[in-house]
């Protein structure tokens, strides 16, 4: 993951898993162990990039909080 972030940039990396034999908890553990990622970068990888790339609607309660 660190290589992908360094090579492609934080705006081009998303966390996701659809592999049935992989432990999401282990994957998030590896992600949390990456040094040098700000809270903003973590938010982009875990959520914001997917919203942007897939043009997802934000839930109404999230829009109201902004």
Alpha-carbon gap, residue 31 to 2, rounded angstroms: 8
Close Cβ partners of 51 (under 8 Å, ≥ 6 residues apart):
58
At 65 the pLDDT is: 60
Domain that holds residue 17: 2-65
Tally of domains in the chain: 1
| pLDDT of 62 strictly over 80 | no
Alpha-carbon gap, residue 7 to 62, rounded angstroms: 31
12-53 pLDDT per residue, tens: 999 887 766 778 888 888 889 999 999 999 999 999 999 999
At 63 the pLDDT is: 58
Between residues 26 and 60, the one the model is more confident about: 26
Alpha-carbon gap, residue 35 to 64, rounded angstroms: 33
| pLDDT of 64 strictly over 90 | no
- Asked whether the beta carbons of 45 and 15 are under 8 A apart, the reply is yes
């Amino acid at each position: 993951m660190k290589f992908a972030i360094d090579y492609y940039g934080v705006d081009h990396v998303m966390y996701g898993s659809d592999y049935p034999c992989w432990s999401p908890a282990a994957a998030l553990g590896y992600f949390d162990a990456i040094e040098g990622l700000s809270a903003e970068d973590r938010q982009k990888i875990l959520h914001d990039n997917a919203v942007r790339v897939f043009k997802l609607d934000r839930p109404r309660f999230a829009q109201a909080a902004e």
